[in-house]
A and B are shown apart, each in its own frame.
Chain A
Amino acid sequence: MMPQDGDSHTDQEIRRYQEKVSKGENRQASLERLGWLFATKARISFDPGYYKQAAACGDVLESDSPGCPESLLLRGYVFENLHRFKDAEPLARTLVSKRGQSFDYGLLGDSLMEQGRLDEAVDAYQHMVDLRPDLQSYSRVSYIRWLKGETQGAIQMMEAAMDASSQNDPDSAAWVATRLALLQFQSGEKDEARQAVAAALLLRPNYPPALLLRGRMLLAEDKADEAVAALETAAKANPLPEYQWTLAEGLRAAGREPEAAAVEARLRVTGAANDPRTFALYLATRGEDTATAVRLAETEMQQRQDIFTQDALAWALTAAGHAGEALPHSKLALAEGTEDGRLFFHAAVIAHRAGQDDQSQKWVNRAAGCVQTLLPSERKQFLELTKIFPPATKPGSQSPLTNDLTASNLESVK
């Protein structure tokens, strides 16, 4: 085992526990701790290679004590972060039946949710929050409420999670603040969202998810130059498709086309490996290599069947000229009632291309309420669609997504 490089507290702790493990000192506890330290390093560094090392610790634990809860939880967590949700589920179910602690239900709920089995996930999360109401359980309740269309209830729960956060765990606190800001952004609560992002960045300066969201919010306000500054920092720290795509959009909106093209070139090299679902969305939105987009989305569907994977496949199929095939996946993507601008935008386009204009009008109306969450190129496509299906704006009659599709913000994407 190569000693860990780096000077951060986590790096030092990894080295300390590597030494303990190599000396056989309190072997099981040291291995478990080392595994979680590697997982921590993976999460805060956005370097997924550390998950493999965490998994190796879990494998040794399992070899030493087959079926021990410590091994099950560590391996299950790593599986989820490797997107091996079907592999995580049986480990979580064993944990629940053997031990039934709050985390065990959390792990089970996460694996079920990613597989699109929301009703079962709700049950698991209910057990979790009944056993221990805290940041972990509140934030999961928030997320699943949002998936189920309860956006205001989701915001309330994420605020409760924020109240239950600690400076002893700034990573979780920053993550919760960012998720809260995202919910508020989607709901059109701009000032609150800005404050929550600022809070996240105070907790963890240059926290990539918060910078990404700040960039998206600035793009929605047509402040491309400011957005690029945030997005460049975020994408440098976390060079994933979602970050690179947003950065490219920002650069293009700022008139920096060559730089946008360079970012996209890098995205094309690594996107399929790092995050195939988002890369599929990117390709389909750009209308490029749509066959690859379909293939990636179909492959992803083998791992998880949640609404966003359904949407990605529907969007890729539509881009590839198969809107009819896309329709059932689009319906599944919308079936839970999730209030998400991109889902609505995709649904409007898919319905239109499938010849279901009444449905297209319906989803245009819904997307118009949250157009601020779309990237500039998506807003541009949406604007084109509104020329055919002008959104019915009835002030006060929309969902909590209250952002108006005003002439000025549509002009900004022309």
Chain B
Amino acid sequence: MKIPKQTLQCLAAGLAVTGLALPALASSHMDAPLIILDPAANTCDVYAFVSADTNGVQYLTTALTVYPFEEPGIGPNAYNFDPNVLYQINVSLGKDVAAGKPSLSYNFQFKTAYKNTGTILQSYLGVIQNVGDAAQNLTQTYTVTKVDNRPTSRIRETVLGTGIVPPNNQGIATPLYNQGNDGNNPAQDGVATADQLDTYTTESIAQLHSGYVAFCGQRDDGFYGDINAVFDLLQLRNPGKDVQAGFNVHAIVLNIPLSELGGTQQIVGVYATTSRRSVTVLNPAVQREGQPNFGGQWVQVGRQGNPLFCEALVGIADKDRYNETSPSVDAALFKKYALTPELCHLLNVIVFQANVAPETNRTDIAGIFIPDLIKVDLSTGPCRLAGGGPNDDADPDDAGFSRLGIFGGDVLTSSVQVGFGDGEVPGGWPNGRRFGDDVIDIAVTALSSDLRVSPPIINGPYGDNVDTNDMAYNKVFPYESTPQNGRNHMHAP
């Protein structure tokens, strides 16, 4: 029931600063964590797996994606990396893996420039033929810096090099992303060899110092799953709906030569963070000189390691805290969520209607998620890669690749751990994470199984009935699929 305005005193006038929307001023008990309100710094997914180039050089391929549900095409808002955000891919080595500490951090910092600011054509002045040409108005560049956080390091920071961000796939302005090099057509599907990549992607792959390779730019969101059904009281449907279909992300992909990490005989950990700068609210020097002030300490606002940990295991009350903390505190703060996953209880009650998933003392699940690093066994050699499925003649999955990883028989052999016996380790997540790993199905299957005993009791596989991405992956760097065409793309019906 409304109260007549005339009966209120001093109520109606807006306030200078509290005209802001409420979700961000509300407590952390709201539906959405704060990071959802900051998409440029909102990490979607992290990937980490062993790859090799055509010369046989092995890499730890890492990737961070941001901007969830990025609608292709610009509309009122351009999606770009934020120059005010520090994007970091962190690698833990040796004892730092168990401690959840970053041994090495790879910092990506962006700059934005315009060729012409006297126009409303923010991104495209014409049809772009080459990355950074005269038609690409808004152009972002980036610098990659390696930070060695180890106390024994003699050189703390090393600039590895710079790169350029290709244009977003708008359509007519960016024809070379699309089938037949026609901006009216859907985006090109994934390819099996580097010479088949589209021009923009090829031109944006940066060869950095010491053998590092980087790519930063718009890509199709390679995550697939019916997350609407999962978060709709686990009311799964068949067929499921790939909710991410037709959406893009912005991806940072970095190939790290294994030689830079100390060789192959080890297990490393990978996670990513995003940070924004604090500022000095008032700076007397600034006031004197009339110059603006924008420089302070970086403050972490986003974090991502394994898929689904924060989203599906950590309680709402702690989600924001997760994003603001280091994996080094995971054992103290978040282990409880892995040891007693609420999701196991919900699966038992809602989906199985029986006690299938062990609900307590899940040391197996804690072993995956705590600390929340993607652990990658570097001794296995390159993993199998996803392309466009086993029947895609032009870009087939590698033989033996399974979206379900170990639950689909896709295993690798380690020389540094016993694994499930004789060095057998998963071919995909949770041993690394590849593009194409069906992380929802793997997670649900793992939660429903008991990996604490030998041999493990495997129940399932279970899942959300979405088994493939809407676009084929590239089997070559940068692996993530071509960005969806803003002019011609399709979301799941």
Residues of chain A having any CB pair with chain B under 8 Å: 2, 29, 32-33, 36, 39-40, 43, 46-53, 69-70, 73-74, 77, 80-83, 101, 103, 106-107, 110, 113-114, 122, 125-126, 129-136, 138-141, 143-145, 148-150, 152-153, 155-157, 160, 163-169, 171-172, 175-176, 199, 202-203, 209, 240-242, 270, 273-278, 300, 303, 337, 400
**Measured between alpha carbons, how far is A107 from B17 in the docked complex, in Å?**
10
6 A-B contact pairs sorted by A residue (CB < 8 Å): A51-B11, A82-B10, A122-B282, A169-B37, A273-B5, A275-B10
Q: Binary interface profile of B, 282-293, with partner A (CB < 8 Å = 1, else 0)?
A: 110011001111
Residues of chain A with a CB closer than 8 A to B287's CB: 148-150, 337
Given A145-B281, A202-B76, also A275-B12 (CB < 8 A): yes
A73/B26 in contact, CB under 8 A: yes
B38/A164 in contact, CB under 8 A: yes
- Pick the 9 closest A-B CB pairs, nearest first: A275-B13, A48-B11, A49-B3, A202-B76, A133-B276, A172-B21, A274-B12, A171-B21, A153-B292
Q: Is B15 at the interface (CB under 8 A from chain A)?
A: yes
Q: Which single member of A36, A240, A273, A337 contacts B9 (CB below 8 Å)?
A: A273
CB proximity of A369 to chain B, nearest CB, Å? 14
CB proximity of B297 to chain A, nearest CB, Å? 7
Q: Which of B259-318 contact A (CB under 8 A)?
A: 276-283, 286-287, 290-294, 296-297, 299, 301
- Nearest A residue to B39 via CB reads A166
Q: Is B30 at the interface (CB under 8 A from chain A)?
A: yes
Given A132-B34, A149-B287, A169-B24, also A110-B15 (CB < 8 A): yes
**Measured between alpha carbons, how far is A277 from B276 in the docked complex, in Å?**
37
A274/B299 in contact, CB under 8 A: no
Q: Which of B28-49 contact A (CB under 8 A)?
A: 28-30, 32, 34, 36-41
**Measured between alpha carbons, how far is A133 from B324 in the docked complex, in Å?**
11
**Measured between alpha carbons, how far is A125 from B281 in the docked complex, in Å?**
7
CB proximity of B181 to chain A, nearest CB, Å? 31
B292/A50 in contact, CB under 8 A: no
Given A73-B27, A122-B281, also A166-B36 (CB < 8 A): yes
Q: Is B82 at the interface (CB under 8 A from chain A)?
A: yes
Interface centre among B16, B82, B277, B297 (most CB of A within 10 A): B16
Q: Which of B324-341 contact A (CB under 8 A)?
A: 324
Q: Which single member of A83, A129, A145 contacts B278 (CB below 8 Å)?
A: A129
**Measured between alpha carbons, how far is A130 from B301 in the docked complex, in Å?**
11
**Measured between alpha carbons, how far is A131 from B297 in the docked complex, in Å?**
10
B41/A143 in contact, CB under 8 A: no
**Measured between alpha carbons, how far is A72 from B32 in the docked complex, in Å?**
20
CB proximity of B9 to chain A, nearest CB, Å? 6
Q: Which single member of B8, B9, B301 contacts A134 (CB below 8 Å)?
A: B301
Q: Is B84 at the interface (CB under 8 A from chain A)?
A: yes
Interface centre among B36, B287, B292 (most CB of A within 10 A): B292
Residues of chain A with a CB closer than 8 A to B9's CB: 273
Give how many A-B residue pairs fall within 8 Å (CB-CB). 213
Q: Is B1 at the interface (CB under 8 A from chain A)?
A: yes
Given A32-B27, A169-B24, A209-B19, also A50-B2 (CB < 8 A): yes
**Measured between alpha carbons, how far is A148 from B84 in the docked complex, in Å?**
24
A274/B324 in contact, CB under 8 A: no
Q: Which single member of B21, B41, B294 contacts A169 (CB below 8 Å)?
A: B21
CB proximity of A279 to chain B, nearest CB, Å? 9
Residues of chain A with a CB closer than 8 A to B77's CB: 167
Q: Which single member of A36, A133, A144 contacts B282 (CB below 8 Å)?
A: A144
A134/B30 in contact, CB under 8 A: no
Residues of chain A with a CB closer than 8 A to B296's CB: 129-130, 133
Q: Is B14 at the interface (CB under 8 A from chain A)?
A: yes
**Measured between alpha carbons, how far is A191 from B32 in the docked complex, in Å?**
36
Residues of chain B with a CB closer than 8 A to A80's CB: 15, 18
Q: Binary interface profile of B, 68-97, with partner A (CB < 8 Å = 1, else 0)?
A: 000000001100001110000000000000
CB proximity of A41 to chain B, nearest CB, Å? 10
Residues of chain B with a CB closer than 8 A to A275's CB: 10, 12-13
Residues of chain B with a CB closer than 8 A to A145's CB: 281-282
A130/B278 in contact, CB under 8 A: yes
**Measured between alpha carbons, how far is A40 from B22 in the docked complex, in Å?**
6
B21/A48 in contact, CB under 8 A: no
Q: Is B455 at the interface (CB under 8 A from chain A)?
A: no
B299/A130 in contact, CB under 8 A: yes
- Nearest B residue to A99 via CB reads B27
B292/A113 in contact, CB under 8 A: no
Interface centre among B8, B25, B278 (most CB of A within 10 A): B25
B27/A103 in contact, CB under 8 A: yes
**Measured between alpha carbons, how far is A176 from B292 in the docked complex, in Å?**
18
Residues of chain A with a CB closer than 8 A to B55's CB: none
**Measured between alpha carbons, how far is A113 from B15 in the docked complex, in Å?**
11
Q: Which single member of A53, A122, A165, A270 contacts B5 (CB below 8 Å)?
A: A270
- Nearest B residue to A191 via CB reads B118
Residues of chain A with a CB closer than 8 A to B82's CB: 163-164
Residues of chain A with a CB closer than 8 A to B39's CB: 166-168
A273/B8 in contact, CB under 8 A: yes
Residues of chain B with a CB closer than 8 A to A240's CB: 12-14
**Measured between alpha carbons, how far is A129 from B84 in the docked complex, in Å?**
14
**Measured between alpha carbons, how far is A129 from B277 in the docked complex, in Å?**
9
Given A48-B11, A203-B76, also A136-B36 (CB < 8 A): no
B286/A48 in contact, CB under 8 A: no
- Nearest A residue to B32 via CB reads A168
A110/B17 in contact, CB under 8 A: yes
Residues of chain B with a CB closer than 8 A to A241's CB: 13
B276/A134 in contact, CB under 8 A: yes
Residues of chain A with a CB closer than 8 A to B278's CB: 129-130, 133
CB proximity of B144 to chain A, nearest CB, Å? 21
Q: Is B126 at the interface (CB under 8 A from chain A)?
A: no
Q: Is B453 at the interface (CB under 8 A from chain A)?
A: no
**Measured between alpha carbons, how far is A32 from B281 in the docked complex, in Å?**
31
Q: Which single member of B21, B83, B276 contacts A175 (CB below 8 Å)?
A: B21
